[in-house]
Structure 1
Amino acid sequence: MRSVVVYSALAALAACAPQTTPSSTTPSGPASTGEPCGIVSQLVTKAGTTSPSIDAEIAYACLKSIPIDVTAAQSTINEVKKMLSFQSTVEYLKNPPSGYGNEGVDLLGGLDDISTKVGNGGYTNEYDFEHDMTALIGQAHDGHLSFEGTAFSGAFQWQRTTKLPLISGSIDGKEAPKIWALFDYNNTAAYTPSAITKIGDKDAVQFIQDESDYYFYHDADARYNSMFYSTTAGSYGYFTTPKYYPGPTLDFTFENGTKASFVNQARIRDYKPWAKITDGKTFYSAFVSPSTSVVKHKKRSPDAIPLNLEMPKSTQLSRRALPYSFPATTNEHKDDVNIASFFIETSEGTVGVLMAQTYDVEDAEDAREFQSVIQKYIAEAKARNVIKNIIDIRSNGGGKILLGYEMYLQFFPSQEPQLQSRYRGGKATEVMGSSISSVKYSEANGDMYTWPWNFHSYVSKDLEAFNNWTDMYGPDKFNNDEFTKLLKYNLSEPLSTSSEKFGLGLTPTSYQTRSNFTVDPFNASQIVLFTDGMCGSTCTLFTELMVQQSGVKTLTMGGKPDGGPMQAVGGTKGSMVLQGEFLQGVTTYIMSTFAKSKADRDEWLTYLPTKFAIGASMTVNFMDTIRKGLEQDGVPTQFYNDSAACRLYYQPEFYLNVTAAWEKVAQVAFGKDGAMDDEACVAGSVSTKEAQTGGGEGNPNPTVPGNNNTTTTTTSDSTNKNNNGTPTPTPSTAAAASSMARPASAWTAIYVVVASSMLFGTSLL
């Protein structure tokens, strides 16, 4: 498994770390003559390795020399606009609800501004154009929404020194945290650590806060945490591996007066294309132009966690064994899936820990083992009479949505999950929905039957089957935008769950053949969720169920050193991400299968997304989550501030000893006669039940009933199952499977390219 692994490089790198004062390096600038990209090519050739690094300054000079193709840039902007028609929060982002922690951003207006600049000759190179596109999309602070071109991120990975990865820690857990060099606390020499006071010429804390604003978590405290070393994520953090050019050098000033300087690096992602690159023009041909590129762009699986939600992996960190600081696991996933169970002795007695850093698995076997790890943990806890449980979901970027449901249902099998979602309407949605919903089920096209535009893929908020596309689509109107009806997943449906061919190959606990699971093994007060805010996607859905439905408390750690409450979930709260390549493939299929005339094709191409004119990738947040009880407001949970029950600061030793962190959580979560010890929390961080559930000051104000501009009203459904533990919605697939006709048209080859089970098994993250 990936997360509970030793980083053997810590010992080796610690030897290079400062003892009494940090070491320093004299920067070397780029050569004064010649084409910068040609110089990079020479350096790569001379390096003689498959993963060389060069000075960041010369790499940046190379990027700034890449010419821009104005026609390709304008075409790309147009295609990005089409992609954004599927972004569920476009209108909300323009004018966010009150209390949202980020400024509004008009994405379409911003694209118009970039287009104007392109047309006016305002860009002298491709890199600056792609930089501005990426930065604009990043202002949404949505981990499901991203755009990256190959000039911006395809050739180089920026790297600050790994000799001084940073941590943020409070000496005693009460004082405001300071910024430290990690290896100062992983050092056997007699050395008193000294905090870092300045980075460059800026206060260190302010530097980290300012740079963290470039990243994708919607909560500022989560963004701050993402800059630092994470044991569980296997990452030195975004400070060490920044997304944007970090400048040529890095300068530190320490509290004890010492200073250190380092040269920033650019790691070559793929050395092979550089053999034919001599200047910016040949770089464009090799990396940017789809028609001439010699770079084989690695296609991400439709079910892969979006890059925005993956902490940057640090190649120096080995993953071959458990860290010395981890206790022995009682059970763990045998493959590279980050879930394991532990039992530790604390001042509060024996406490069980279930650690899950992902919900992502490769196949049905992995999914069933994921299920088994949880089941075995609960069984062992019951056998040991352990009633205090920590679920550690720090740095969990999401994964398969069914596994989020599964983890919840193992702890609360008596409950009917109340999650409900919707997606955005519009011309593209209408064409895709009416076309794909007309597909009749067969063994040959069962995957397509689970695509989100097929009305059989969902049941209503009342667990009733939809009769047709129009019945599911509506649309309902909120915030001057259109959306589908509220949708739920049919956990009783084998096609999208237990089927290995069309689903994840996992039978959900308390459903189908596992309907005998009916008794909750613990009550909510015996469980605490331990987060660092960097919980996104499926992780947020799991948290939504645990906290909002079942009343489990959250305890979060870290964040900015300014006290007060912190959100338990700082990552995207969207319930489905779609990759641009998938949407482009769906367009190809629809055009070839359902367009009846050239007029149809010409019209549809004005709003259906097609391939980019440059090498680029994009993802969109396709579906919102709408909180039960707040349906009439129509505000996505993305815009609610759900404070953790309590906040703790990291202490330096917690980064190197996970048991110490868990012991601290146990002491606070269960230290007051089995309940939360509020006095041990960071000052001002204890939150009310209202604040933990999106209410109170700093949250969107509820609308007046009947004044919500919606075409329908929403009624509540029961959160408990019937007596046998299995809900009985009208079966959607069985009703449609009687017609086995295949769509007329030779679409099979295209279907193979784009098809994948779009419910629990793949792209729902």
Structure 2
Amino acid sequence: MHVRAAFQLLSAASIVAAINIPPLAAFGQAATTTAVPIQNFYSAPPNSSASGSTYAPGVTVNRATGPATGTVTAPRTLTYTQTDYTPNPSVFRTACAEISSSYASRLSVYASQVATDADAIYPTRVAVRPREAWDCLYSIPLNVDVTLEFISGVAKYLQFQSTIEYLKNPPANSLQDPVDIIGGLEKLAEQVRSGAIAHHIRFENAFRKLLQRCHDGHLGFNFNSGSLINFRGPFSLISVSPDAIEKPKVYVEDDLFSLDGGDEISYVTRIDGYDVEAWLAEWADYGSSQSPDARYNAIFANRDPGSDGTFYTLYGWYPGKNSIAITFSNSSTYEYEYRAFARWNSALNWTGIRTGADFYDQIVLNPAYFETSSSQEGAAPAPAPEPTGSGSIYHAHDAPKIKKRQMRTGVATTTTSTRASATSTPRTPRLVYFNAPFMRHRVGPYVQDLNGIIGGYFLNDTVKTAVLDVSSFAAADDDAEYELLGFQAALAAFFAEARRVGSQKLILDVRGNGGGLIALGFELYKQLFPAAPANSYYRIRAHEAAQIFAIAAEEIATDKATEEFIETVRRVGLNNIEDEPLAVALAINSGFNRQNTLDIRGNTPANLDTFIGPYNITGLVNDTVSLLVQTNYNFPLQDNDISGFGSRANFSETPQPFRKEDILLLSDGTCASTCTIFSELLKREQANVSTVVMGGRPNDGPSAHVGGTHGSRVLTYANLLSNSRRVVNLFPPETDEQEQYLIDNIPLALPFGFTYAAINFRDAIRPEDETATPLQFALEPADCRLYFSPIGFTDSIYLWGELSKLKWGTGSAFEGCAVGGLQRGEESTGPVPDDPDTVEIVNYILRPLSVPA
């Protein structure tokens, strides 16, 4: 049954009751929206089955002869890094009660402290034995029917994953193992039915691992259980080379950098009896980056931006035992204890939990979705809102923020920054700060924005090198304001100073940048190259549910309604729209609407059929997709315009601050989401920009400078459920057949609660690529690869200086690149004396590396 022929008129009351969807007003759209006559809802579908259907004006999808080739293989069974442990029933039945008692005891101590100490710290976690924590999780019962309901329901969300068909048969050079997500769900369902999976926590872990095998940072699902119990390694590891060129060794971080380390610091040779690199390669396979080198880097601690590494965080999983054996180069072996913590916050906590059944009822089935990024541990988390009309520069990455050691993360909020409305008293915040503390550097940057997203430095070298440290494209604080305004102002101040002092070279440091607001990625590019075009192309899957959502968005945001909305925004301001204009804004911002998109020729798609198709794509995969489009940044659906667009269109006449030959892009491979959009603009439009990548596997092979997800927009499950509610409100079912059609296709409420869940919604595509393959499967090596040296690991300012001398000057501590090389730029007039503070740090840190033979 075709999507447009499927709806005939359905009763809203029946489906709302059947699928547990609350009234639309509770979702955030004006409840006054009326149902659209079904005759206006449908039109004749395009001929989507024609073998030569047009994919975009002048562009046809390349099709191979015959069906897609390749076979789907099961994920390899890991043998090193996980040990299967089954608790004794007589023990695990009491574990939850013991943890709950420990939690109550800590709260009691806190309550007594408050009476005498106003500065008493509210406890957010309590240490427990790892096996006790696992015993509690293992005691959670498995409800077969509810679990099968979840599997069936979550599949409707995963159909929106843009790469779902490519993952089954990935391109050969993508380094991605085949993963059949829907087939994997079917296998999980069979294991639940047969009893092969008989405990709820086993199901949770199996489902999470299925998604993690896709290596997509936009694709993930965090169950509520992870908010109450998590596991930790005994310490962090680091991987360093003595000179950035020799293959690195693995060290315990505290050993290498301890003040009393002496001269005989040993490196790690084996973990649990296995070769250290074999163990780490297997562990890295759980990572979310597409590049195996980026996944390898994620294992280790990082100083800029700060992170503890997945060897410490364990992805939150129980490793199956209480300790881990580490063998060192001096042949000694030590057992180190794993750790576990019982955590709580105001939404999910241990109150009233005595058994696994209590845990299931109060935590697993708790529907209260909240953004874990909204608060730190122990604080009251806020409900996840639907993206409102306050911003249309979509966030490319919206994973939970872990506010632990780092000041910033590569995680974005759902909208652009906010500002005072036209009716409130305006305030002018301080957007730019100078010489203020920033990250872990020894000195503050010359300039940074008010949210600490970027820091601009000027090095003391003869080629006058400037550095932009861009570890994210979003503020670490979810309540941050003026993100785009502050970002714009800081960049403008930095480039103005660069022109004043005559800076000739620029290093862009995007190490650890996991993405953020797309607006900020475009802003940085346009300020670097004001007169250059800035186009990023994408498409979505046009499966049944996506077509339904596109039809609904088109009915709300018609051409006439969109014109009226634009006029309303110009008249009253974006932050003051309400009622019907707000409904139009939500539809336009949903991602399923054509009104603020442009085709590859720069024109708005003529109608719904032109935009959504569906267009057939065959060859490596068989799928249906939308038109290849780009976002129209002149469309007035954001708080502030990007430089070069809208009210800032004249910015294109601003002088370019640096020649492209004088720019060096520094990465560690984890660049993802908005960072990949920015890097793609930089590499596609400015071909002579050099790239350096740090770290990675010790194989002396080439490594991708952009190794995170190239997906260009994430949608949370909350976003998708919002679209389902909009459809039910607009097109209420009246027959059982039509009600069942909706239930079978659109995402509905899930029985298990979760703290975060999302899919990658949009594929980034190069319009000149005849195969139209998503960039998620393209790994392009950096020009130069270096490993982390101890001083390069600890001192970014030192690293920038040595890279500047390697690329443009003389006397670099790096004799070259471990792999590849940099085209030499103009040389300096002579070597620059080292900073005495840096020399002292270098001498100290290098001392422990003189390991006995």
> Which TM-score applies when normalising by structure 2?
0.71
Task: State the match for 1:427 in structure 2.
Answer: 544
Relative to structure 1, the CA distance from residue 375 to residue 323 in structure 2 (aligned partners, 3 Å threshold; closer, same or farther) is closer
Which of the numbers 524, 547, 551 marks the counterpart of 1:407?
524
Q: Deviations over 1:488-540 (max 9, x none)?
A: 111222x22xxxxxx24233335533424334222211111110011110000
Q: Would you say the 8 A contact 1:671–1:677 is kept in 2? A: no
Is 1:178 paired with 2:249? yes
The reply to whether residue 198 of structure 1 matches residue 257 of structure 2 is no
Measure the CA separation in 2 of the matches of 1:627 and 1:672: 38
- 2:216 maps to 1:142: yes
Aligned residue identity for 2:468: L
Q: CA deviation at 1:547?
A: 1.0
Distance 1:33 1:145, change over 3 A: closer
Q: Please list, as runs of the form range in 1=range in 2, the aligned pairs for 1:79-118 lying within 5 A after superposition.
A: 79-118=153-192
Show the counterpart of 1:329: 445
Corresponding position of 1:646: 784
Pairing 1:417-566 to 2, within 5 Å after superposition = 417-439=534-556, 440-441=561-562, 442=565, 443-445=581-583, 446-478=585-617, 479-493=621-635, 495-496=636-637, 503-509=638-644, 511-518=646-653, 519-551=655-687, 552-566=689-703
Retained in 2: the 8 A contact 1:177–1:561?
A: yes
Tell me, yes or no, if the aligned pair for 2:463 and 2:808 is still in contact at 8 Å.
Answer: no
Query: What is the CA–CA distance in structure 2 between the aligned matches of 1:46 and 1:166, rounded to whole Å?
Result: 34
Task: Tell me the secondary structure at the aligned position of residue 418 of structure 1.
Answer: coil
Indicate the residue corresponding to 1:12 in structure 2: none
Q: Deviations over 1:369-403 (max 9, x none)?
A: 01111121111111111111111111111111111
For structure 2, the 5+ residue unaligned runs are: 1-86, 108-122, 371-377, 388-393, 410-435, 566-580, 824-853
Tell whether the 8 Å contact from 2:298 to 2:310 is kept in structure 1 after alignment: yes
8 A contact 2:93–2:356 mirrored in 1:
no
Structure 1 counterpart of 2:716, from 569, 573, 579: 579
2:245 is paired with a residue of what secondary structure?
Answer: coil
The partner residue of 1:124 within 192, 198, 215 is 198
- Partner Cα distance (2:796, 2:162) in 1: 38
State the alpha-carbon separation in 1 of the partners of residues 530 and 367 from structure 2. 53
Partner Cα separation in structure 1 for residue 271 and residue 157 of structure 2: 38
Q: Structure 1: how far apart are the matches of 2:275 and 2:716?
A: 39
Tell me, in whole angstroms, the C-alpha distance in 2 between the residues paired with 1:266 and 1:305. 32
1:761 maps to which residue?
Answer: none
Amino acid at match of 2:100: S
* Match for residue 314 of structure 1 among 404, 408, 425: 404
The residue aligned with 2:707 is 570
CA–CA distance in 1 between the matches of 2:724 and 2:148?
Answer: 20
2:453 & 2:645 partners in 1: Cα distance? 24
1:489/1:33 Cα in 2 relative to 1: closer, same or farther (>3 Å)?
Answer: closer
- Aligned-residue offset at 1:97: 1.1
- Aligned twin of 1:633: 771
Rounded Cα–Cα distance in structure 1 between residues aligned with 2:677 and 2:167: 21
Compared with structure 1, are the counterparts of its residues 316 and 265 closer, same or farther at alpha carbon in structure 2 (3 Å cutoff)? farther
Q: Does 1:669 align with 2:743?
A: no
The counterpart of 1:591, out of the listed 710, 714, 728, is 728
SS of the residue 1:605 aligns to: helix
Q: Residue in 2 aligned with 1:42? A: 101
The answer for the alignment partner of 1:696 in structure 2 is: none
Identity rate, percent: 27
**1:718 matched to which residue of 2?**
none
Is 1:398–2:515 an aligned residue pair? yes
Aligned to 1:743: none
What is the 5 A alignment of 1:382-393? Answer: 382-393=499-510
Tell me, in whole angstroms, the C-alpha distance in 2 between the residues paired with 1:254 and 1:345. 40
**2-structure distance, mates of 1:677, 1:315:** 29
Report the Cα distance in structure 2 between the residues aligned to 1:364 and 1:338, rounded to whole angstroms: 12
Q: CA deviation at 1:484?
A: 0.8
Instruction: Indicate yes or no: 2:432 matched with 1:360.
Output: no
Change (3 A) 1:33 1:564: closer
Equivalent residue, structure 1, for 2:30: none
Distance (whole Å) between structure 1 residues aligned to residue 232 and residue 367 of structure 2: 30
Which of 317, 328, 337 does residue 263 from structure 1 map onto?
A: 337
Q: Quick one: structure 1 residues 568 and 323, their matched pair in 2 at CA, closer, same or farther if it must change by over 3 Å?
A: closer
1:241 maps onto 2:313 in alignment = yes
**Displacement, 1:241?**
0.9
Offset from partner CA, 1:19-55 (integer Å, 9 cap, x none): xxxxxxxxxx999585111122122233443321212
How many Å separate the matches in 2 of 1:100 and 1:677?
Answer: 34
Deviations 1:47-66 (A, max 9, x none): 44332121211111111111
What letter is aligned with 1:37? C
Pairing 1:251–2:325 present: yes
Q: CA deviation at 1:470?
A: 1.0
Query: Deviations 1:88-107 (Å, cap 9, x if unpaired)?
Result: 11111100112110211111
Displacement of 1:543: 0.3
Deviations 1:699-747 (A, max 9, x none): xxxxxxxxxxxxxxxxxxxxxxxxxxxxxxxxxxxxxxxxxxxxxxxxx
SS at match of 1:241: helix
**After superposition, what is the alpha-carbon deviation per residue over 1:458-506, rounded to whole angstroms, capped at 9, x for unaligned?**
111111012221121222222311111111111222x22xxxxxx2423
Report how far residue 248 of structure 1 moved: 1.3
SS in 2 for 1:548: helix
Give 1:338-377 correspondences, 5 Å limit: 338-346=453-461, 349-361=463-475, 365-377=482-494
- Aligned-residue Cα RMSD (Å) equals 2.9
Residues 352 and 386 in structure 1, CA contact (< 8 A), matched pair in contact too:
yes
The answer to whether the aligner puts 1:416 opposite 2:533 as a matched pair is: yes
Residue 600 in structure 1 maps to residue 721 in structure 2: no
User: Structure 1: how far apart are the matches of 2:512 and 2:92?
Assistant: 45
Q: Distance in 2 between matches of 1:108 and 1:338?
A: 38
The question of whether the paired residues in 1 share the 8 Å contact of 2:353 and 2:359 is answered with yes
CA contact (8 A) 1:325 1:658 kept: yes
Matched, 1:155 2:242: no
SS at match of 2:467: strand
* Range with greater deviation from structure 2 (33-42 or 405-414): 33-42
Paired residues, number: 643
Alpha-carbon distance change, 305 to 461 in structure 1, aligned in 2, over 3 angstroms: closer
- Kindly provide the amino acid, as one letter, of the partner of residue 466 in structure 2: G
Q: Distance in 2 between matches of 1:510 and 1:149?
A: 41
Contact 2:395 2:713 in 1 (8 A): no
How far the C-alpha of 1:364 sits from its partner, in A, is 5.8
Are the structure 2 counterparts of residues 686 and 475 from structure 1 closer, same or farther at C-alpha, using a change threshold of 3 Å?
Answer: farther
Give the SS at the match of 1:93. helix
Q: CA deviation at 1:280?
A: 0.7
Amino acid at match of 2:705: A
**2:186 counterpart letter in structure 1:** D
* Cα contact 2:641–2:647 (8 A) shared by 1: no
Tell me the equivalent position of 1:660: 798
Distance 1:597 1:363, change over 3 A: farther
Which amino acid counterpart does residue 61 of structure 1 have in structure 2? D
2:147 to 44, 49, 73: 73
- Contact preservation (8 Å) 1:669, 1:677: no
Distance 1:271 1:451 in 2: 31
